[in-house]
Amino acid sequence: MTTYFNNGVYADKETIKVSIDDRGYYFGDGVYEVIKVYDGKLYTDQEHFTRFLQSAKKIRMDLPYTIDEFTGIAKKLAADNGIVEGHVYIQATRGAAPRMHNFPGEEVEPMITAYAIHNPRPLSKIKEGVAVKTTDDIRWLRCDIKSLNLLGNVLAKQEAYDAGCAEAVFVRDGIVTEGSSSNMFGVKDGILYTHPATNLILNGITRRVILQLCAKHSIGVMEEPFTLEQFKEMDELFLTSTTSEITPIVSIDGKIVGDGAPGRVTERLQQVFEETIHELKMEIN
Ligand code: PDD
């Protein structure tokens, strides 16, 4: 039996009923988070739940739980479902009300659902790298919100899959923004490049870990917009996300990156990232 969380209740997935009038279903009117579980422990949960509350605030939605309460829910789901390596998914919608675009009345409560699922680390992709495909960034201008509205991302990911690639790289006005479900990084002459954390990208939690690791290990960083041409000429490319961790990019639009193998800086960052996972595993809680 898989236990899900639904507005304060832990129950079997099959018994949870969500209204057909839910605004998540009608409008994608809600926000979400994905938190990695290593060795049964949550990785960067504080950061994820802080962003969850921030995303909710940005769409003018009040969530009924604190960061600590959300952490408790996620921990319980991971424990009750025996998740050793996987992730917790959590979403909050503006609740159920007859379909109308404007917000429902105060009496309508947010609908919060969450589950924990087994999901092994994509180790071969992390080691060998993946191919990516560029596509127009057709999304809205609030990509900083981790919104349930993911149609632009879904279409881009499928376009990449149809071309035999693992990820789509969004390009807006000639500038590389991010991936369909990841952040993009390039390395040129030992310096790391990534799009600044503006409204045009989601400021990934993994992205933030990378920037902290760069500061700690004296790797130079430029958080500045760069063009697709510049991106394609970089020595190394990689993408990051909660589930992909640091995945090297070995080809882009069919063009080989560097010598076609994961780069030196990428591998160094993978190594120090691995240490953060190891530290989590060693924590006693
Ligand atoms: N996606 N940019 C976008 C558009 C994303 O959807 C994600 C994550 C990221 C990376 O964020 P983080 O490092 O916090 O996971 C960047 C999640 C994993 C998903 O939708 O499944």
| DSSP β-bridge partners for residue 37 | 42, 86
Instruction: Pick the catalytic residue from 36, 75, 133, 146.
Output: 146
Ligand 1 mean position to 181 CA, how many Å? Answer: 5
Ligand 1 mean position to 90 CA, how many Å? Answer: 13
Phi, psi of 166, rounded to the nearest 5 degrees: -90, -25
For the Cβ of 34 lying below 6 angstroms from any atom of ligand 1, the answer is: yes
Assigned CATH for 123-281: 3.20.10.10
pLDDT of residue 285: 67
Whether 66 shows a pLDDT value over 70: the answer reads yes
Ligand 1 mean position to 144 CA, how many Å? Answer: 11
Say which CATH architecture domain 4-118 belongs to: 2-Layer Sandwich (3.30)
Whether 41 is catalytic is: no
Q: DSSP class of residue 22?
A: B
Which ligand 1 atom lies nearest to the CA of residue 244? 18
Q: Where in the chain are all domains bearing CATH 3.30.470.10?
A: 4-118
- What's the whole-model pTM score? 0.98
The per-residue pLDDT for range 172-206, each reduced to its tens digit, is: 999 999 999 999 999 999 999 999 999 999 999 99
Strands (DSSP E) along the chain, which ranges? Answer: 3-6, 9-12, 30-38, 41-42, 86-93, 111-118, 130-136, 167-172, 175-179, 183-188, 191-194, 221-222, 236-241, 245-252, 255-256
CA neighbor of 127 nearest in space, from 248, 257, 259: 248
Which of 149, 182, 269 has the most ligand 1 atoms within 8 A of CB, as the residue to mutate?
A: 182
Q: Where in the chain are all domains bearing CATH 3.20.10.10?
A: 123-281
